[in-house]
Structure 1
Amino acid sequence: MVPVPDFAAHRQRLLDTLDEDEAVLVFGGPTTLRNGDADYRYRPDSDVYWLSGWEGPDVALFLRPGDEPFVVFCQPKNREREIWTGIRPGPEGAKENYAADIAFSMEELDRELPRLLQGVSCLHYTFARFPNYDQQLMAAIHSATRAARRNGLDIPETFKAPSRHFHELRLRKGPDEAEVLRRAAEISAAGHLEAMKRAAPGVNEYEVEAAMTNVFRQMGTTGCGYVPIVAGGANATILHYVTNRDPLKDGDLLLIDAGAEHCYYTGDITRTFPVNGTFSDIQRRTYEWVLKAQLAAIDTARPGRTINEVHDAAVRIITEGMLDLGLLEGDIEELIADGSFKKYYMHGTSHWLGLDVHDPGMMGRKGKSRELEPGLVLTVEPGLYVPADDEEAPEPLRGMGIRIEDDILVSVGDPEVLTAAVPKTVEELEAFCS
């Protein structure tokens, strides 16, 4: 059975955190113009989807705790528009298929929202995301204020960004989400394996990307969770290289950073391997330092440890590697303390993963790093990048970029590596890619 999120459970988790005079208002935005009169393919707002499973544009969700109804505003049924852009659920579909207790057309928002806001003293809402909706909300509050003077009910006087606890709920994955992410990881892994098979000298980066993303789609995903990075040779020293059109060269490494979305939850895998199937001596030596750093960081991703400790574990070994490879000189403690390692390892080791590739949720608060707990999903992705024009680096290392990334579910025991199906030791990669 294909795993799917439990949206009703998500809503209840949110409602359980609210006081009776609080409410949450979440909008899903309109389609976005790509160029000319062509739109981008719509991807649902992650907050809207987490709460409801709603996949279409122009929607609003209103939730209050207790016996208050779950209210959905959505595009109305419109036969003429549906001929062009697809079937809309409409208000009736919102009730039948998305568990709305009450549903209205978005055209009724101005009339109904002031009534819904009465008795709400604190509204959880993200400003400046959709300015048109901000204006409608302010107009609704103005209308609700007039009504409140007559009936003595509260109106919103306090606004809170959802990030303080709504996004903390999204950060802590329930069993349903863990299963969905396992499936996203499984599909992502299958795509990476196909990419490894396709890569060879003379093949273009975009051909490797096509082989991989074709697997993603064939396995029923909604696409990629982000634009794939397929970077041969020195292109791998550009952290977010997405041009993906150069030919692969014999003797180069190929870095692929890509993940498939399942139910809009994304995988996020990076592998670096030799285009011709065999590491050179210096490539092997450099790669094994990055792998050693990644394995140490993964082993640190346990309950009670912090997200900073995961990073620190990777940094220490990567810095040892830089000393061994001749990229840095000096005392390792000083090189770590003064940040010298950032010349060749300039990004963090981890980010949260879920509906967004960089899922929301704080890494820490008030200068204190977040302590890991079961149910958190993070990436572990150390790397080492030597620009081709870095004359201070040993010449054999110039133009080499290596990153290794896996998706980790923090568990009661050992960390669960969701993406372990993709080979990553030198021996495994050479056996698979040869």
Structure 2
Amino acid sequence: MSKANIDVEKILQGKYPAKAHAKRVVEYIRSKIPDATGVLYLEGRSDKLLEDSDEPVPFRQRRAFMYLTGVDVADCFFIYDLATEHSTLFIPPIDPDSVIWSGLPLSPEEALSKYDVDAVLPSTELNPTLARLGAAPNATVFAIADRVSDAVTFLEFTNKDFTVLGEAIDETRVIKDEYEIALIKKANEISGVAHKAVLERVKKAKNEYELEGIFVGTSIAQGAKKQAYPSIVASGRAAATLHYVHNNKDLAGKDLLLLDAGAEWSCYASDITRTFPISGKFTEESRAIYEIVLQMQTETIAALKEGVSWDEVHLLAHRIAIDGLLSLGVLKGDRKEILEARTSTAFLPHGLGHYLGLDTHDTGGHPNYSDPDPIFRYLRVRANLPAGSVITVEPGIYFCEFIIRPYLKDPKHSKFIDEKVLDKYWDVGGVRIEDNLLITKDGSINLTDAIKDPDEIEKIISSS
């Protein structure tokens, strides 16, 4: 693993590489349909009001549309002509009534200057343009099912394909280009500052929601007005709940705080988890679990490179977890037999990580949630990792009674768990450490710089 030496600000001075993305998508389509001709058609998300209010629904651009345009604006449409490689963005025309309330919208001139497209037209020209392009011999319109407005017509096209475009975008999104990597790195940099701000103030905080406010506020102060996902701010035993949502419990009397939070930058996500002692000092038990999880992350990251099997990296994390829990006496018996019995899934029930990009759980991972093997069932990536992909590495060990108690009643597993020793660890709750890794030919580059060294964590919290 190497550090991220990426000149983020210089790279992001350019345009989002929408045309390059379109070409990659067309290449994928032609790998499935060699003689493909016609157009790609995509719609952005529309502005909508809440059904019982005149307040708008929070806007989130459709990721497929963002990938082919770089446009994070509502009520837009996009056409890409496969034959000429010509891209056209359609934007809303000026509505005088709307201008009174919301100001002038994006002009065609501004859009052409800002985005990587060949032409910009008002959306009133959309159907006439489709009619003209559809008149070409054997033309096909490639669109995504259930993402075509009722007012849009494809009558003139000989063929209509609502399957391959979505698949093509999902698959090509896996490998990021330089610009996308810079966006993810920017989101990580902002999130790293926000994570440190929480460390500096956790000792004096009273409630989980104070810490959520610190993280979100610090992100916004750096220009990141959106979070990549709702923050998980879980104290004490609540840290054993993987997607804890309450964020409203008092911190008094609790050991650890698990903070899973990441800002978004121009629709690209970061996804970072840190776990730390609220008091500024790990207990003997929580420090022991933290050290095991840190070792799990360090060794699995060291195993990353182009072509590595993610299944095998995930298994490595379980092997290290088993060895660590055996050393503490929580587990007992033969390490190989424990792994074969899948007893370690009581303590690490989720997958080691997932692709990251326009979505926090990004596309192209091909999970198999019906896998009969519980160790792989929730693994979100089932592939050899390609260079250029970005993946999270987020090992954890959790002491969730809802999960573990059934294992204690099952002879297959109970023989490997020492319940007396286990009882000392319930208050640890859970420990997870998560970074974002760019896969390279020979290894990986860590895009995350949030603090995770346990001694440094204690120092920052204790001195605040």
- Please, what TM-score do these two structures have when normalized by structure 2? 0.82
Contact 1:121 1:158 in 2 (8 A): no
Letter in 2 for 1:360: T
Provide closer, same or farther for how the CA distance between residues 262 and 3 of structure 1 changes in structure 2, counting only shifts above 3 A.
farther
Q: 1:361-395: CA deviations, max 9, x gaps?
A: 13479x99422232110000011111256665522
Task: Pick from 90, 110, 119 the counterpart of residue 73 of structure 1.
Answer: 90
Is the aligned partner of 1:362 residue 2:372?
A: no
**Secondary structure of 2:90's partner?**
strand
Q: Which moved further from structure 2: 52-61 or 108-117?
A: 108-117
Contact 1:185 1:260 in 2 (8 A): yes
- Tell me, yes or no, if structure 1 residue 216 matches structure 2 residue 226: no
Q: Shift of residue 418 of structure 1?
A: 1.0
Cα distance in 1 for partners of 2:279, 2:259 equals 15
Tell me, yes or no, if the aligned pair for 1:272 and 1:404 is still in contact at 8 Å: yes
Residue pair 2:38, 2:83 contacting (<8 A) in 1 also: no
Task: Pick the aligned partner of 1:396 from 424, 434, 443.
Answer: 424
Is 1:408 matched up with 2:424?
no
SS of residue in 2 equivalent to 1:54: coil
TM-superposed CA distance for 1:127, in Å, is: 1.3
Q: Cα deviation per residue 1:192-233 (whole Å; 9 max; x = unaligned)?
A: 000111102652111111112222111122421111111111
Letter of the structure 2 residue corresponding to residue 21 of structure 1: T
| Match among 39, 51, 71 for residue 23 of structure 1 | 39
**Which AA in structure 2 matches 1:7?**
A
Verify: 1:375 aligned to 2:388, yes or no.
Answer: yes
Deviations 1:327-371 (A, max 9, x none): 444433333334322222111111011111111113479x99422
Aligned to 2:451: 423
Q: Which has the higher contact order (CA 8 A, sep 6+)?
A: 2
CA distance in 2, matches of 1:101, 1:175: 22
For residues 94-119 of structure 1, give each alpha carbon's deviation from its aligned partner in whole angstroms, at most 9, with x where no partner exists. Answer: 44543544444434544443433344
Q: Of 398, 408, 411, which aligns to 1:385? A: 398
TM-score scaled by length of structure 1: 0.87
Q: 1:178/1:99 Cα in 2 relative to 1: closer, same or farther (>3 Å)? A: closer
Cα pair 1:233 1:249 within 8 Å, conserved: no
Alignment-derived partner of residue 9 in structure 1: 20
Q: Which amino acid aligns with 2:365?
A: M
Q: Distance in 2 between matches of 1:94 and 1:356?
A: 24
Q: Is the 8 A contact 1:201 1:248 kept in 2?
A: no
2:377 maps to none
Aligned partner of 2:65 in structure 1 is 48
In the other structure, the counterpart of 1:203 is 206
CA contact (8 A) 2:37 2:140 kept: yes
C-alpha distance in 2, partners of 1:397/1:165?
A: 46
Q: CA–CA distance in 2 between the matches of 1:230 and 1:47?
A: 30
Query: What is the deviation of 1:323?
Result: 3.5
Give 5+ residue unaligned stretches, structure 2. Answer: 1-8, 31-35, 372-380, 409-418
CA distance in 1, matches of 2:271, 2:24: 26
Q: Does the CA-based 8 Å contact 2:395-2:433 persist in structure 1?
A: yes
- Residue identity matched to 1:144: E
Change (3 A) 1:264 1:293: same
1:223 aligns to what SS in structure 2?
coil
SS of corresponding position for 1:42: coil
Deviation at 1:235, TM superposition (A): 1.5
Equivalent residues of 1:127, 1:134 under 8 A apart:
no
Partners of 2:287 and 2:312 lie apart in 1 by 27
How many residues in Structure 1 have an aligned counterpart in Structure 2?
417
SS of the residue 1:379 aligns to: strand
Mapped to 1, the partners of 2:308 and 2:295 lie a distance apart of 19
Structure 1 match to 2:312: 309
Task: Please report how far the alpha carbon of residue 174 of structure 1 lies from its aligned counterpart in structure 2 after TM superposition.
Answer: 0.9
- Give 2:55's aligned amino acid: A
> Relative to 1, partners in 2 of residues 1:30 and 1:327: Cα closer, same or farther, differing over 3 Å?
farther
Instruction: Give the SS at the match of 2:216.
Output: helix
SS at match of 1:354: coil
Q: Tell me, what secondary structure is at the counterpart of 1:63?
A: strand
Amino acid in the other structure paired with 1:425: D
Say whether the 8 Å CA contact 1:228–1:258 is kept in structure 2. yes
Q: Which moved more, 1:350-359 or 1:216-225?
A: 216-225
CA contact (8 A) 1:259 1:267 kept: yes
- Higher mean C-alpha deviation, range 244-253 or range 226-235: 244-253
Question: How far 1:325 sits from its partner (Å)?
Answer: 4.0
Residue aligning to 2:132: 115
Q: Is the 8 A contact 1:307 1:363 kept in 2?
A: no
Q: CA deviation at 1:280?
A: 0.6
CA RMSD of aligned residues (A): 2.7
In structure 1, stretches of 5+ residues that fail to align are: 146-154
How many Å separate the matches in 1 of 2:283 and 2:110?
59
CA contact (8 A) 2:301 2:393 kept: yes
Distance 1:302 1:327 in 2: 33
Match of 2:78 in 1: 61
Instruction: State the identity %.
Output: 30
Matched to 2:455, the amino acid is E
Once residues 191 and 405 of structure 1 are traced to their aligned partners in structure 2, the CA distance between those partners, rounded to angstroms, is 15
Conserved in 2, the CA contact under 8 Å of 1:253 and 1:275? yes
**Which whole-Å CA distance do the structure 2 matches of 1:239 and 1:67 have between them?**
48
For 1:298, the equivalent position in structure 2 comes to 301
